């Protein structure tokens, strides 16, 4: 699952978090002005990361490069 956060509410600037529930990995970054197509995964767009709750996030390995 990939989650994209529109942090300035303009609809064009996104931060993204990709959570791979099969491999138990997570990565994140700034996509610039477009939503990146990362592995054609299911995408969820949220306006506030405070609404995103991942209770077992400590089980995931951060593979952000």
Quick check: is 65 in a domain? no
For residue 40, what pLDDT is reported? 43
For residue 45, what pLDDT is reported? 57
Print burial letters for 30-51: b (CB count within 10 Å at least 16), e (below 16).
eeeeeeeeeeeeeeeeeeeeee
User: What residue numbers bound the domain in which 31 lies?
Assistant: 2-55
User: Total domain count for the chain?
Assistant: 1
For residue 58, what pLDDT is reported? 81
Quick check: is 62 in a domain? no
For residue 15, what pLDDT is reported? 67
Chunked in runs of 10, what are the mean pLDDT values of the chain (65 residues)?
59 67 80 54 56 73 84
Quick check: is 39 in a domain? yes
Quick check: is 63 in a domain? no
């Amino acid at each position: 699952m990939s989650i994209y956060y529109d942090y300035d509410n303009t609809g064009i600037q996104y931060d993204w978090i990709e959570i791979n529930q099969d491999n138990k990995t997570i990565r994140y970054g700034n996509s610039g002005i477009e939503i990146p197509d990362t592995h054609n995964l299911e995408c969820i767009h949220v306006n506030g990361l405070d609404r995103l709750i991942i209770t077992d996030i400590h089980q995931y390995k951060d593979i952000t490069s």
